[in-house]
Amino acid sequence: MAPAEEPTAATLAPPPPHFVIVPLVAQGHTIPMVDLARLLAERGARASLVTTPVNSARLRGVADQAARAKLALEVVELPFPAGVDGLPPGIENVDQVTDNNHFIPLFNALQRLAGPLEAYLRGLAARPSCIVADWCNGWTAGVARSLGIPRLFFHGPSCFYSLCDLNSVDHGLHEQTAAASDQEKFVVPGMPVHVEVTKATAPGFLNSPGWEALWVECVEAMRTADGAVVNTFLDLEDQFVACYEAALGKPVWTLGPFCLANKDAEAMASRGNKTDAVQQSAVTAWLDTKDTDSVVYVSFGSLVRKLPKLLFEVGHGLEDSGKPFLWVVKEPEVAAPEVREWLEALEARTAGRGLVVRGWVPQLAMLSHRAVGGFVTHCGWNSLLESIAHGVPVVTWPHFADQFLNERLVVDVLGVGVAIGATAPVMIFDDENMPVGREDVVRAVAALMDGGAEADERRRKAKEYGEKAHRAMEKGGSSYENLTQLIESFRQRGGKEG
């Protein structure tokens, strides 16, 4: 018989805490949770990202990169529920939806992932330490409960937004706005600063007509969770973090900006869609020729599809602004031959000064380039935080969901944004009547990029927040230390036999 091996520190140490992460199948929700998984794994925890086949294919780059870096980060694939009423086959992500009527069936399909998720968890050698599920994945609450696994919810927006949302629910704001006219203004109750909304810009996820059952389930899941994880940092919005924690009555872990987990070009490129490396190096080479802080970067996130009328207003506005611009348009936006022709003519007229990219670019690589000095954004929280983390002030052009309140935070509270003047939400495939035109683009871009006392102050503040964001993520910084505490608190609780 071989002599027993001496026990080593490694064999005696308890296994690392295991976090099972369940993102919502939408780029804007998945990307920060991929970053979170990487952060956890880099700090010695084990992270399993749970998703469906179409979405896991998109994460292959993330998984490969993690494997090369020997990180305990894996992508777990659950089969996508078949035969869901009203959902065409193949649609597994919000960004594949081309008809507003397909959103609810997609969410109904996601609820049916509860069984496969439970089977996966029961099949593990040891119970995971914690489930971190997107706020919109309320269906995970029942699974966590039946297995006795602690659960945190991840809410994508800022604490400012989440506090507005929670206060609106707790103080009955939606009952008040129900009968109001479109223009009537309401003050969001219980906020430490004055925040006004209209019926249309009032906070709330999944709270349109038809979504009641899903919404109730998600709110219930929020109330029964063990805490919240938020992609923000204390120095950005400490008063709102404190108020949110008090209103929620449970710990709020501020661990961001998550995007700063991506330290190299490969990580920046792998977290989103597949990147065209040739296109990306051409874009970078073009930016290299431009002066510092001179280029305005224009991109409206993964969901917005501009109809030709509005696309033309953006293009003419950028042309008339006279500023160097890098504009990302989506393939479906420029699919029609007449739109393609129009765009080619615009590119010819602005050659050298403007660059139009079709498809997807790794946004972090753009925002961290020294030449990019402004960002025209739809105000998705990831985009805003990525911009702030890189010290880039913004033109705010909200479209829907949390974006109008994110705009209030960056323009009114943080002072790093210029509003373009969008006042009411548009549906994803219905921006025909958006009251924003080329003159608004020209005015806002000039205010952002032209210099002068206000513009300089905005840029100075953005750079200051950018430095604070980096400090928060370094050893000793608030987000870094909060992550340490989060991992430690689950090291003590987790690892029970399955």
Ligand X SMILES: *[C@@H]1O[C@H](CO)[C@@H](O)[C@H](O)[C@H]1NC(C)=O
DSSP characters for 110-168? HHTTHHHHHHHHHHSSB--SEEEEETT-TTHHHHHHHHT--EEEEE-S-HHHHHHHHHH
Q: Which is nearer to ligand X, 160 or 297 (CB)?
A: 160
Residue 105 contacts ligand X per CB under 6 A: no
Q: Which stretch binds ligand X (CB under 6 A): 148-156, 306-314, 421-429, 478-486?
A: 478-486
| By the rule CB under 6 A, 482 interacts with ligand X | yes
Using an 8 Å Cβ cutoff, are 123 and 88 in contact? no
Neighbouring C-beta atoms of residue 369, cutoff 10 Å:
20
How far apart (Å, rounded) are the C-alpha atoms in residues 108 and 5?
A: 52
**Nearest distance, CB of residue 230 and ligand X, angstroms:** 10
Q: Is 253 in the site for ligand X (CB under 6 A)?
A: yes
Taking CB under 6 A as the rule, does residue 481 contact ligand X?
Answer: yes
Cβ of 491: how many Cβ atoms within 10 Å? 17
CB of 409 to ligand X, least distance (A): 20
Residue 21 or 472 with smaller CB distance to ligand X: 472
- Closest separation between CB of residue 481 and ligand X, Å? 6
Closest contact distance (angstroms) between CB of 247 and ligand X is 15
Q: In what order do the strands lie in the sheet with 417-419?
A: 354-358, 325-329, 295-299, 372-377, 394-396, 417-419
Which positions from 18 through 77 interact with ligand X, judged by CB under 6 A? none
For the CB of residue 127, give the shortest distance to ligand X in the complex, in Å. 23
- Residues 403-442, one symbol each (x = binds ligand X by CB under 6 A, - = not), give ----------------------------------------
Give the CA count within 13 Å in the CB-facing half-sphere of 475.
Answer: 2
Determine contact, residues 325/298, Cβ cutoff 8 Å.
yes
Tell me which of 190, 251, 308, 421 binds ligand X, using CB under 6 A: 251
Choose the stretch contacting ligand X; rule: CB under 6 A; options: 63-71, 115-123, 317-325, 475-483. Answer: 475-483
Is residue 394 within 8 Å of residue 414, measured between CB atoms? Answer: no
What's the gap between Cα 216 and its chain centre? Answer: 23
Tell me how far, at minimum, the Cβ of 158 lies from ligand X, in Å: 16
3-state secondary structure of 253: strand
Q: Among residues 394 and 472, whose Cβ is nearest to ligand X?
A: 472
Shortest distance (Å) from residue 485 CB to ligand X: 5
Long-range contacts of 99-104 (CB under 8 A, 24+ apart): 99/429, 100/427, 100/428, 100/429, 100/430, 104/210, 104/211, 104/214
Note whether 485 binds ligand X by CB under 6 A.
yes
Q: Shortest Cβ distance from residue 180 to ligand X (Å)?
A: 37
Binding-site string for ligand X from residue 231 to residue 250, where x marks contact by CB under 6 A and - marks none? ---x----------------
**Interface with ligand X by CB under 6 A: which residues?**
234, 251-253, 478, 481-482, 485
